[in-house]
Amino acid sequence: MKPPLRQSPSALAQRLSESEATIQALLAGQIDAVLDTSTGTPVLLAKAQAALRRSEEQLQAQAIIAREAADRTQYALTSARMGIVELDLVADRFSWSPTTAALHGLRPDQAPTTREAYLSLIHREDRQSVESAIARTIADGQDHSTDFRVVWPDGSAHWMSGRGRVIRSADGTPLRIVGVTMDISEVRTLQAQLSQSQKMEAIGQLAGGIAHDFNNLLTVILSYSELLIPSLAPSDVRRDDLMEIRRAAEAAAAMTRQLLAFSRQESADPKVLAMDAVIAAGGKMLHRLIRENVTLVMSLAPDTGRVRCVASQMEQVLMNLAVNAQQAMPRGGSLTISTENVTLVEDDSSQFLPLAAGRYVALRVTDTGKGMDDATKSHIFEPFFTTKGVGEGTGLGLATVYGIVKQSHGGILVESAVGSGTTFSVLLPRVDDALHATVVADQVPRVGTGTVLLVEDDPAVRQIVLRTLQHYGYQVLEASDGAAARVIALEHQGPIELLMTDVIMPGVGGREVAEMVRELRPETKVLFVSGYTDDAGLRTWVAATKLDFLEKPFTPDALIRKVQAVLASQPVPLAAAVQTEAGSDRQRVMDQMSVVVYSLDASDCIVGVNEAWVASAELNDGAAVLPPGIIGRSLWECIVDSPTKAVYRGLLARVRERGEPVRFEFRCDTPARRRLLEMRIAWTPSAAGPVVSFTTRPVRVESRASMALLDTGTPRSSEVLVMCGWCKRISDGRGNWEEVEVAVERLQLVGRPILPAISHGMCEDCRHTMTALMAGDTPPGTEATLGAWTASTVTP
Amino acid sequence: MRKRSAVRSPPAKASPATSRLRLRLYVAGGAPNSLAATANLTVLLDTHYAGAYTLEVVDVLTSPEKAVRDGVLVTPTLMKLAPSPIQRLVGNLSDSARLLLLLGRP
């Protein structure tokens, strides 16, 4: 090393200037580290140290984030049963994410490394489509997506869905294909199950639709033949012809019933029955049906539980399964019928009808016949599917079984293999309800009296029912729809003992007709008629209300029998929770009040009222509100609370200004009725000058459990609840308004001898609606509804 | 023969325009001034000497012996190795005028 003193003066000057620059840089804070020349170790300055530590921490944090992201991706891929694959097109190298191996039933170390090796994992039949998808992607640059099967080492095939994208270099050369693959075996299975159930559903709808019209025709054929037969002498040859027609119609009716049973639209009244008893009874008939070369073994467990079903339907299920089993054993064999209790630990959706976990009673029908392959098995419950020759079977047997079991909320398990017999297991939910007592049918008198209001849209059916009823001595009022029925119910002088109405009709349905007629004539009994109750809500309603129901097609005999039975019974309430105030005249007038009219002159003095108004005013505690001698008094004396006054003033002003009526609906409840009334305020010129008329009519009336809260006769405390005068909801004092039922429940008012007083007010919703109506923001003849109720808001 | 003549031929006159620029930058890992110096230097080189320089970056945290050999006491230090004379510039090289002066471009 040269001693510094030997350096040239210029070099020395340079070293000095550099030293000076170093000191300046140090002072300016531009130095990170100083080297200890004796040890050769760099010493970081504090600032640099801190910065380095920070960046190191950042790096660590980033590493953690990256690791977590990788973990998440790994988890997502694993749980979605997805894999990432990559094919290097240049080096023909194939690679995949660790999750992919599991989708192929392989260990991670068994991953394929070339395109050829990967393709060899794909099902032979699908390889071509995957290869062409890859080729297409390379050629057109579009992402490709294809479904294919992969074969696992155990030979099983699994469905995969693959999507891929080509990655290119800057000059467009395809470099590699990256893609994701997903195991879709489960999706495929579900899709297949769904399409199977949709197919059955569609066939059911079709069958049900045809059966509906068919039933109407059969009712006509059966009824006319039955009416005509007695009119012909026994010697008349035409009598036999007619009986032949009737027999054919009866056979057709039986077939229609089977179709309806399949489409589970048959209306039946299920009872709680012991499965073994039903099967034992049905089994007796079997002995006559079964051929001699078939051994019938009945193995009924005596302790099998109870199920909710229709006995005749279960007998039919047994019969159809047994006949089927026998036909599977042309050379004889053994037919075993057994019952047992079964508990499913978990849901089973693998079968034709999915079964939820729970307790069941199983009926098993086992044969030792030829069995079925899977293809046959997948079709056996379809109507008109048959393996028998033409004319040997209708193909409706198992379809009927399917319909009945589905209707009974049960399921069917089919175990079969070619050459080793078949077992059908019908599982119905086990119930703990008491057994239904058997009812013995009464002898029916043949001639009756009374008036029947018949509502039926099909003219042919209406005609034959009319003739049958008249034939047996009834007076019949006929209507083709609900509107006509209402007119008759309103105008007919004298009682109407029975309303007989079709359930499904265009426009107003049978249920509404019944409610309408009952509203006018509470004593009238109701008989519903239908062959097609597709409406689930209606079915539930019929079942829940225990209403009388006659199923199409019916014979005159069945019709008269049913009519007699209904007339002899007590009227059934239409709503399950009806609780009327027996013998209350007040209530009856309130309910029947149809149209209330009063009118005002130009100075708002009442110039006229109709009779209904008088009745309603008196009954509606009108005496307190409206002093006697109402004519000539100002309307404003008659309305007590000021919000109501303000609304009426506003509405009157609008009607007078524009000369157009306003219409709105509001609530006018009574303790036993919920009533939505329509109010129409109209301006009319008259001889004595223009008058404004107020017309009120009920829009909707519904019975309810008597609401003592509304009854003014109940003692009141000083506690005050506010009720909106328009929607009749009650305020909780915190801006929430609720139906009376809800308030009664919440405030626990049931059973209190002294109830809170009710003060009338107006809720925000009604104020808003009425303000818009008064301002005329709404079109002429406008409507507003305050306090309309839905089923859910009023169910106590 | 050729070898001989090559040895004997007089060395070409060093000129900033013709001789390739050779630099060595001493830094201390990712410390702030070191990062700034690296960034400042590369931007300036790419602007004025694109493709005509060689830069060696030495991290004293991993190779302190090189710094000791070159007599570097602090980082960041930029050493111009060629063309001669060998010169040093200390700091984050934010003063581009001074940097250009060092590199031989006024």
**A534-578 per-position pLDDT tens digit:** 555 555 556 655 677 887 777 777 888 888 888 887 766 554 323
- Look at B31 and A44 and tell me if their CB atoms are within 8 Å: yes
Chain B nearest CA to A61, separation (Å): 17
The per-residue b/e assignment along A339-348, b for 16 or more CB within 10 angstroms, e otherwise, is bbebeeeeee
Q: Is residue A539 within 8 Å of residue A546, measured between CB atoms?
A: no
Separation of alpha carbons A61 and A56, rounded Å: 9
Q: Give SS3 for A726.
A: coil
Tell which of B90, B93, B101 to mutate to test the A interface (max A CBs under 10 Å): B90
Please report residues of A whose CB lies closer than 8 A to that of B29: 52
Q: Is residue A429 within 8 Å of residue A342, measured between CB atoms?
A: no
Beta strands A498-502; A525-530: pairing state: parallel
DSSP A546-575: T-EEEESS--HHHHHHHHHHHHHSPPPPSS
Using alpha carbons, list the distances in angstroms from residue A295 to A302, A318, A334.
21, 16, 5
Residues 6+ apart with CB under 8 A from A604: A634, A635, A636, A652
Q: Which of A18, A24, A32 sits opposite B75 (nearest CB)?
A: A32
Structure tokens that stand for A781 in this block:
């003849």
- Look at A30 and B90 and tell me if their CB atoms are within 8 Å: yes
* CB-based contact, A17 to chain B, within 8 Å: no
Tell which of B25, B57, B62, B75 to mutate to test the A interface (max A CBs under 10 Å): B75
- Tell me the β-bridge partners of B21: B53
Q: Which of A28, A37, A44 sits opposite B28 (nearest CB)?
A: A44
Residues 6+ apart with CB under 8 A from A389: none
Please report residues of B whose CB lies closer than 8 A to that of A12: none
Tell which of A31, A43, A55 to mutate to test the B interface (max B CBs under 10 Å): A31
* CB-based contact, A47 to chain B, within 8 Å: yes
Higher pLDDT, A630 or A432: A432
Specify the length of chain A in residues: 796
* CB-based contact, A55 to chain B, within 8 Å: yes
- Look at B67 and A42 and tell me if their CB atoms are within 8 Å: yes
Return the pLDDT at A268. Answer: 57
- Look at B33 and A30 and tell me if their CB atoms are within 8 Å: yes
The per-residue b/e assignment along B10-26, b for 16 or more CB within 10 angstroms, e otherwise, is eeeeeeeeeeebebbbb
- Look at B31 and A34 and tell me if their CB atoms are within 8 Å: no
For A567-605, what is each residue's pLDDT tens digit? 887 766 554 323 333 334 444 444 444 455 567 777 777
Q: Is residue A396 within 8 Å of residue A262, measured between CB atoms?
A: yes
Share of chain A above pLDDT 70, in %: 81
- Fill in the DSSP letter of residue A739: -
Per-residue pLDDT, averaged over A702-731, amounts to: 76
Going along A119-221, which residue ranges are E strands?
A: 144-151, 157-168, 174-183
For A233-248, what is each residue's pLDDT tens digit? 888 888 888 888 888 8
Look at residues A794, A789, A608 and name the one whose alpha carbon lies nearest to residue A699: A789
Using alpha carbons, list the distances in angstroms from residue A717 to A195, A223, A758.
64, 65, 10
Please report residues of B whose CB lies closer than 8 A to that of A31: 33, 74-76, 90-91
For B46-96, what is each residue's pLDDT tens digit? 888 888 888 999 998 888 888 888 888 888 999 999 888 888 889 989 888
Name the H helices within A620-685.
Answer: 622-625, 635-638, 642-658
Look at residues A320, A324, A338 and name the one whose alpha carbon lies nearest to residue A376: A324
Q: Least CA distance to A28: which residue of chain B?
A: B91
Residues of B with CB under 8 A from a CB of A: 27-34, 60-61, 64-65, 67-68, 72-76, 85, 87-92, 94
- Look at B28 and A28 and tell me if their CB atoms are within 8 Å: no
* CB-based contact, A8 to chain B, within 8 Å: no
For A256-305, what is each residue's pLDDT tens digit? 777 776 665 545 567 788 888 888 877 776 776 777 888 888 888 777 88
* CB-based contact, A642 to chain B, within 8 Å: no
Going along A257-357, which residue ranges are E strands?
A: 271-274, 294-300, 306-309, 333-344
Specify the length of chain B in residues: 106
The per-residue b/e assignment along A134-151, b for 16 or more CB within 10 angstroms, e otherwise, is beebeeeeeebebebbbb
Return the pLDDT at A779. Answer: 65
Q: What are phi and psi of A752, to 5 degrees?
A: -75, 130
* pTM of full prediction above 0.95: no
